[in-house]
Amino acid sequence: MKNFLAFFCLLNVAFFSSQTHRYIYELQLKMDSTETDYQKFNMILDINPKNVKFYGRNLLVADSLNKKFGNSDNKHIDMTGQIVKRKINSFENENFINIKFGYYTFKTNDKMTWNISHETKQVQHYTLQKATTRFGGRNWIAWFCKDIPFNEGPFKFSGLPGLIFEISDTQKNFIYHLVKNQELAEIYPTDDFLESNFGNKAIPINEKQKQKLLLEFYNDPFSFERTNFSKTNSNLNINIGGKEIHSIDELNTQVKSMQEIIRKYNNPIEIGKAIHYKN
C-alpha cells in the first residue's frame, strides 16, 4: 500500500491522459480452507475506456519477455482461477480457465448487492469506507475510496462508488490489498495471454461443460500418459513430477496421489460452484 500511495500523487497529472489505469493487488488465498498457510499472488486490474481485466502478474511478465526477445518461449498457467474480463461498469464477466491442456472461456452474470456502511478508516491520507456483500456463497467486507472514480475492484467485485482498496471474505480465505498503481498511455494488449494462453486460444464453453471437463480431469488426470502405455513401445519413457513411470500400476498410484491433491485444494472462491469429488 505504501508504494501505491507514494506513486498515486502523480494521478492528477496522468489520470486523464492515461488509456490504461493499472492497479496491482496482493492476493492471499488458502488453497486448503482447513490450513492456516496462504499462497500469495500479485494480481493486476487493468481499467481502460472500454474494458476491465483482472489477471495474474506472472502472465504479464511472461508476455513481456516474449515481446522483448521476439519469441514465444515464455509461458505461464494461471493457478488462481481468477482471470476475468468485462465491459466497464458491467456485471457480465467473461471468465478464462486452464483445464489440463485446454484453455476455455465462459460467461457469468455476477451482479452484487452492496450494503454501504457509514464506517470509515484512514489509510495515510485516504479515507476508505466500508461495504459488505454476499457473493459466491461467502460474506465479504470491502473498503473502497470515493476519491478514485472507478466503480471497480479485484476479480468480479464491482459496483461501489469508488475503487476497492481492500476486500476479504469473513473467513479470511481470500484477502486482497491494493499495493501499487501505474498509468499507461496506451491500451495494453492482452490477446496473447488473456484472450488466449500463449498460442492456445480460449474455447467457449458453458458452466455445465466446465464442470464436466474438471470431472474428467479428476477421474483420470494422466489420460494422455495412459494412452501412451497402450502403444507398443518398449523405449517409452514417462515422467510425472520427476518420477519415471514404467507400468500401469505405477501410473494408477500417481492418479490416486493427484486425486488426493485435487480434493485437498478444492477451495474455489465461489463455493456454490465447488465440485464434490468422490474418493
Residue 112 has pLDDT above 90, yes or no: yes
CB environment 48-65: b (16+ within 10 A), e (fewer): beebbbbbbebbbebbee
C-alpha of 221 from chain center:
22
- What the block records as the C-alpha cell of 199 is 498460442
Encode pLDDT of 19-43 as tens digits: 999 999 999 999 999 999 999 999 9
Q: What are residue 213's phi and psi, to 5 degrees?
A: -65, -40
- Residue 175: pLDDT band with limits 50, 70, 90: very high
Q: What percent of the chain has pLDDT over 70?
A: 91
Give the residue-averaged pLDDT of 252-263.
Answer: 95
Average pLDDT, the chain: 90
Cell numbers at 165, concatenated? 482498496
pLDDT single digits (tens) 122-168: 998 899 999 999 999 999 999 999 999 999 999 999 999 999 999 99
Confidence grade of residue 193 (pLDDT, cut at 50, 70, 90): very high
- Is-contact 206 217, C-beta < 8 A? no
**How many Å apart are CA 160 and CA 164, to the nearest integer?**
8
- How high is the pLDDT of residue 3? 52
Which of 89-93, 186-190, 249-253 has the least mean pLDDT? 249-253
Pairing, β 51-56 against β 20-29 = unpaired
Question: Given pLDDT bands bounded at 50, 70 and 90, which one contains residue 231?
Answer: low
> Which residue in 274, 264, 35 sits closest to 137, CA to CA?
274
Q: Where are the domains of the chain?
A: 2-200, 207-273
Rounded to the nearest 10 degrees, how much is the dihedral formed by the CA atoms of 189, 195, 198, 199? Answer: -120
Q: What is the mean pLDDT of residues 54-59?
A: 97
pLDDT score, position 17: 55
- Give CA–CA dist 152/164, Å, rounded: 6
Report the first-to-last Cα separation within the chain, whole angstroms.
43
For a pLDDT cut of 90, what percent of the chain falls above it? 77
Mean pLDDT lowest among 45-49, 165-169, 275-279: 275-279
Is residue 17 helix, strand or coil? helix
Provide the CATH number for the domain formed by 2-200 in this structure: 2.50.20
Beta carbons within 10 angstroms of residue 150's beta carbon: 20
pLDDT at residue number 10: 45
Find cell 507514494 and name the residue.
Answer: 6
Instruction: Please answer whether residues 177 and 26 qualify as being in contact, where contact means their C-beta atoms are separated by less than 8 angstroms.
Output: yes
- What does the pLDDT read at residue 242? 81
> Cα(8)–Cα(10) distance, rounded to whole angstroms?
5
Distance CA 96, CA 153 (A): 18
